[in-house]
Amino acid sequence: MTQNLPKTHYLTDYQPPAFEVESLFLTFELLPNGTRVTNRMQVHRVKDLSAPLVLDGEGLELIQVDLDGVALMPTQYDVTDTQLILPDVPERFELEIVTEIDPENNTRLEGLYRTSGNYCTQCEAEGFRRITYYFDRPDVLTYFTTKIIADKQDNKVLLSNGNLVEVGDLPNDRHYAIWKDPYKKPCYLFALVAGNLEEVEDTFITRDQRQIDLRIYVEPKNLDKCEHAMESLKRSMKWDEERFGLVYDLDIYMIVAVDDFNMGAMENKGLNVFNSKYVLAKPETATDADYEGIESVIGHEYFHNWTGNRVTCRDWFQLTLKEGLTVFRDQEFTSDMLSPAVKRIEDVKRLRNNQFPEDAGPMSHPIQPQSYIEMNNFYTMTVYEKGAEVVRLYHTLLGEAGFQKGMQLYFDRFDGQAVTVEDFRNAMADANEIDLAQMHNWYTQAGTPTLKVEKHFDAATGTLTLHCEQSLKGQSAHAPLLIPVLFGFLNDDGRALPVRPGENSRNKVFETEKGHLLKLTTLSETFEFTGLSQEPHLSLLRHFSAPVNLEYAASDEELMMLASHDADSFVRWESIQTLALKNIEDNVARFQAGNGMVFSEHYQQAFQAVLEAKGLDPALKALAIGLPDLPYVFEQFETIDVDAVLQAVEYQKAQIAQTFSGALDKAYLAHCSKKAYCYDKHDMAARMLKNQCLAYLAYGAEPVVRAVAQYEQQQNMTDVLAALNALNHLAVSEREACLSDFYERWQQDTLVMDKWFSLQARSESEQALQDVRGLLEHPDFNYRNPNRVRSVLGVFGRLNMKAFHDASGEGYALLAEEVLKMDKINPQVAARLVTAFTSWKRFKGHRQDKMQSALQHIAADKALSKDVYEIVSKSLE
């Protein structure tokens, strides 16, 4: 809590540690309200002969400190709110510290806490200091041994990192287990789990023929929902061997699913802890998106074993070193398991809907932040998703083989160490003997770059000139970024034309495995191409080869041609999306001028062509006919006029529904199937298209028929939820009937109930605001469960643009009150909720004022957590 202003941490202040920990022996005597932690460590000094020993610790009750076996008097050390300081320690010594903590009342879910009656931990980023006094920084690595002592009845299972080396019984119906981790690690990778969990077991044989025990621990009632997670784990292990040559390094790999978790999952060495949302699935309870999410998060945490654990971060400013790289790896994994084209588009949508707005707002930061108040606030879309895009740039520039050479060198050089983003870049550069110094600029500059391209064609000489300019908003002279642009030339029929770089461009245009690549390295650059018998159409930024906003004035005819014919599925999708966006933007202007709206002819033609295209993947069709998501539409405007945008989008949906009702219905029926649910890309694609059609049909003349029928079939959760989604914005009795049926069916299933809450929290219905108030009072609502809080308040602030931005300002007032309430319970979750307000300056007139007032109201609370304080204060600056 913040009496005085919280401290800002700067990258430039980094100092290597003054002490090394040779080994650490932790003993936990577990009790819900008074867990005793004994921490015995062997330490020696590595520099600063006179420096005191300073250990981090928060919320701990200190019981005793022994130095080399001798108990210290309280006068021999200092204890503050955040540190334990021993002014005088020898060169080499053993320190034993006993503390007590209260897991039962730990509602922050950092450190050791209880969830559904079990014990679990979350230490990243700085949670270990809530377990014991220690060097809570990622560049202090040591060998951990953990002894867990607990009552047998309530804690059948006792788990920690590494290998189980000893178990035994103790008096009073207690027992113990000792785990030893043979790999050095920083404390953020420590984990402990205890309780009455059941396990699902399997094995994996590595390519060097070692047998690895795989275990997934869940509450007994969830044993029937682990199969997909286990299969995903085995696929991840195999894929990492095949694609990256990386093999697992312990004899056992454990995953624990818990209901109360602040984020998605955590890669603790050998003992991952997961939000149950990313483990549990069966067709009746989980959607295709859930299945895909599970596979990718299981992969993500598994891939961290090498990119994060074996090679870790020097300090938290390097977070993207492990996260950007591991997200890139999980994206490639999903891409290889399902459809590369679909995955790329989904990732671009995610980036644009979430990261672009973040980068355009007051919390904007480079993928390597230069300062922070609360590190947990920097587990962002920028560090993760833009970070992954930057890793992808290396991949595009170096090709798969070159990239893998770089990875190999990275592991050869840094295995067992805590390193920086520069170390990664140098490994990539050295392994390929090229200079990548300019890549640094992607790490230190915030904001989404704009890439402006202009085309000139000289018919007399057959020469095409492309003039490219890069800019970063609000920065007049930024350091130029290295921007790889994949591209192609097309004739009027969409056939490829030859690419022949002219004299001045030979060293800037390349043939790569992903196609023609133009390498932009300066702020403004001209590229020449010769030997063209006709003026080509441009297909630019194929594969979304760089995380930029492309400004290129293509005509509607060109966009239509690209949408139907380009060789690159991203560009095809992007072209029809641009047509939709132009139509929406046009209608926003019309609405503002008091004129009627129009439904673009060119968009209609492209829509129909895509919907009826033969042989096109139904998933790509579904993505193409979908409208750009609201956050991305908002991003197109300097000043956001919520009413105008919502009207324009509403109009667009209604026009689509009306104009194409026949074709949509036909496509819907063509993709219905009686087949049992299967997690398979073809089946998923069919469901995706069918349900996109269903969503549109709900805006048409007969909105409820198909949706109710689909709901009643109860085929699988994907289809059931799609049916509810279609009904969700309608003021019809069928909506209420289906929602209450759903409640009756699934009341006992926490994850499914999250869906029930979130449906209502994002409803476009007139009384949504009132409904959200009701949901907060519902007996199944629970402020201590982050998933439940997010499914109501997170969804409301982020996805319900209509109700959250209600002209009365009541949506803002509601969320502000809830943020304050939540901050006392769980600051990390509260800080995420408050980001709904950060873009307040972008909104028009009275909304801007009301959002500002809501933020000021939050800021006025004198006891704000650092988490919420940082976001609110930076937003109001």
CA distances to 146, 579, 619, 636, 753 from 557, in Å = 66, 10, 24, 22, 47
Which of the choices ligand ARG, Zn ion, none does residue 266 contact, using the CB cut-off of 5 to 8 A by kind? ligand ARG
Cα distance from N-terminal residue to C-terminal residue, the chain: 21
In the bound state with ligand ARG, the residue whose beta carbon lies nearer, of 123 and 642, is 123
CA distances to 105, 206, 380 from 234, in Å = 37, 10, 28
Applying CB under 5 A, which part among 140-148, 325-333, 701-709, 861-869 lies near Zn ion? 325-333
CA-based nearest residue to 708, from 696, 725, 692: 725
Rounded to whole angstroms, the Cα distance separating 398 from 396 reads 6
Whole-number minimum distance, CB 469 to ligand ARG, in Å? 35
In the bound state with Zn ion, the residue whose beta carbon lies nearer, of 181 and 323, is 323
In the bound state with ligand ARG, the residue whose beta carbon lies nearer, of 38 and 354, is 354
Whole-number minimum distance, CB 771 to Zn ion, in Å? 35
Which of the choices ligand ARG, Zn ion, none does residue 483 contact, using the CB cut-off of 5 to 8 A by kind? none
In the bound state with ligand ARG, the residue whose beta carbon lies nearer, of 301 and 359, is 301
In the bound state with Zn ion, the residue whose beta carbon lies nearer, of 260 and 330, is 330
Q: Tell me the longest C-alpha to C-alpha distance in the chain.
A: 95
From residue 265 to residue 304, the character string flagging contacts with Zn ion as x (rule: CB under 5 A) and all else as - is ----------------------------------------
Rounded to whole angstroms, the Cα distance separating 655 from 600 reads 10
CA-based nearest residue to 25, from 251, 252, 181, 138: 181
In the bound state with ligand ARG, the residue whose beta carbon lies nearer, of 239 and 527, is 239
> Residue 301 catalytic?
yes
Whole-number minimum distance, CB 610 to ligand ARG, in Å? 35
Whole-number minimum distance, CB 164 to Zn ion, in Å? 26
In the bound state with ligand ARG, the residue whose beta carbon lies nearer, of 159 and 327, is 327
In the bound state with ligand ARG, the residue whose beta carbon lies nearer, of 125 and 563, is 125
SS3 for 220-269, per residue?
HHHHHHCHHHHHHHHHHHHHHHHHHCCCCCCCEEEEEEECCCCCCEECCC
Q: Which three-class secondary structure state does DSSP give residue 555?
A: coil
In the bound state with ligand ARG, the residue whose beta carbon lies nearer, of 319 and 481, is 319
Rounded to whole angstroms, the Cα distance separating 30 from 36 reads 7
Residue 872: its H or E element:
helix 866-876
CA distances to 314, 412, 483, 614, 671 from 682, in Å = 43, 40, 34, 15, 11
Which of the choices Zn ion, ligand ARG, none does residue 262 contact, using the CB cut-off of 5 to 8 A by kind? ligand ARG
Whole-number minimum distance, CB 275 to ligand ARG, in Å? 10
Which of the choices ligand ARG, Zn ion, none does residue 265 contact, using the CB cut-off of 5 to 8 A by kind? ligand ARG
Is-contact 222 276, C-beta < 8 A?
yes
SS3 for 468-531, per residue?
EEEEECCECCCCCCCEEEEEEEECCCCCEECCCECHHHCCCEEEECCEEEEEECCCEEEEEECC
Which of the choices ligand ARG, Zn ion, none does residue 347 contact, using the CB cut-off of 5 to 8 A by kind? none
The residues near 480 (Cβ < 8 Å, ≥ 6 apart) are: 438, 441, 470, 521, 522, 523
In the bound state with ligand ARG, the residue whose beta carbon lies nearer, of 158 and 266, is 266
Applying CB under 5 A, which part among 237-245, 317-325, 563-571, 733-741 lies near Zn ion? 317-325
* 70-71 and 61-67 strand pairing: antiparallel
Which of the choices ligand ARG, Zn ion, none does residue 379 contact, using the CB cut-off of 5 to 8 A by kind? ligand ARG
Q: Which three-class secondary structure state does DSSP give residue 22?
A: strand
In the bound state with ligand ARG, the residue whose beta carbon lies nearer, of 134 and 632, is 134
638 dihedral zone (left: phi>0; alpha: psi -120 to 50; beta): alpha
Rounded to whole angstroms, the Cα distance separating 376 from 373 reads 9
Applying CB under 5 A, which part among 80-88, 212-220, 320-328, 493-501 lies near Zn ion? 320-328
SS3 for 265-286, per residue?
EECCCCEEEEEHHHCCCCCCCC
Helix 717-727 crosses helix 705-713 at what angle (to 10 degrees)? Answer: 150
Considering the candidates 301, 323, 358, 374, report the single residue annotated as catalytic: 301
CA-based nearest residue to 586, from 644, 526, 640: 644
Number of residues in the chain: 877
Say if residue 144 is exposed, middle or buried (CB neighbours under 10 Å; 0-12, 13-18, 19+).
buried
Which of the choices ligand ARG, Zn ion, none does residue 568 contact, using the CB cut-off of 5 to 8 A by kind? none
Whole-number minimum distance, CB 379 to ligand ARG, in Å? 4
Which of the choices Zn ion, ligand ARG, none does residue 124 contact, using the CB cut-off of 5 to 8 A by kind? ligand ARG
In the bound state with ligand ARG, the residue whose beta carbon lies nearer, of 267 and 818, is 267
Phi, psi for 677 (deg, rounded to 5)? -60, 140
Rounded to whole angstroms, the Cα distance separating 769 from 773 reads 7
Helix 681-697 crosses helix 717-727 at what angle (to 10 degrees)? Answer: 20
Which of the choices Zn ion, ligand ARG, none does residue 263 contact, using the CB cut-off of 5 to 8 A by kind? ligand ARG
List contacts with ligand ARG (CB under 6 A). 122, 124-125, 262-263, 265-267, 300-301, 323, 376, 379, 828
CA-based nearest residue to 630, from 805, 788, 769, 759: 805
Which of the choices Zn ion, ligand ARG, none does residue 125 contact, using the CB cut-off of 5 to 8 A by kind? ligand ARG
Whole-number minimum distance, CB 263 to ligand ARG, in Å? 4
Site residues (CB under 5 A) for Zn ion, limited to 326-345: 326
Whole-number minimum distance, CB 377 to ligand ARG, in Å? 9
From residue 23 to residue 62, the character string flagging contacts with Zn ion as x (rule: CB under 5 A) and all else as - is ----------------------------------------
Tokens 């997961």 found at? 274
Applying CB under 5 A, which part among 6-14, 61-69, 319-327, 518-526 lies near Zn ion? 319-327
Is-contact 644 592, C-beta < 8 A?
yes
Whole-number minimum distance, CB 828 to ligand ARG, in Å? 6
Rounded to whole angstroms, the Cα distance separating 478 from 461 reads 36
Applying CB under 5 A, which part among 217-225, 324-332, 369-377, 739-747 lies near Zn ion? 324-332
Whole-number minimum distance, CB 272 to ligand ARG, in Å? 9
Whole-number minimum distance, CB 255 to Zn ion, in Å? 14
Residue ranges of alpha helices (H) inside 100-139 are none
Phi, psi for 27 (deg, rounded to 5)? -120, 125
509 forms beta bridges with 518
Whole-number minimum distance, CB 618 to Zn ion, in Å? 32
In the bound state with ligand ARG, the residue whose beta carbon lies nearer, of 300 and 572, is 300
Which of the choices Zn ion, ligand ARG, none does residue 334 contact, using the CB cut-off of 5 to 8 A by kind? none
Count the residues of the shown chain that bind Zn ion, applying the rule CB under 5 A: 2
Phi, psi for 466 (deg, rounded to 5)? -110, 120
The residues near 860 (Cβ < 8 Å, ≥ 6 apart) are: none
Whole-number minimum distance, CB 122 to ligand ARG, in Å? 6
Site residues (CB under 5 A) for Zn ion, limited to 129-168: none
Residues within the interface to Zn ion (CB under 5 A): 323, 326
Q: Which residues are catalytic?
A: 301
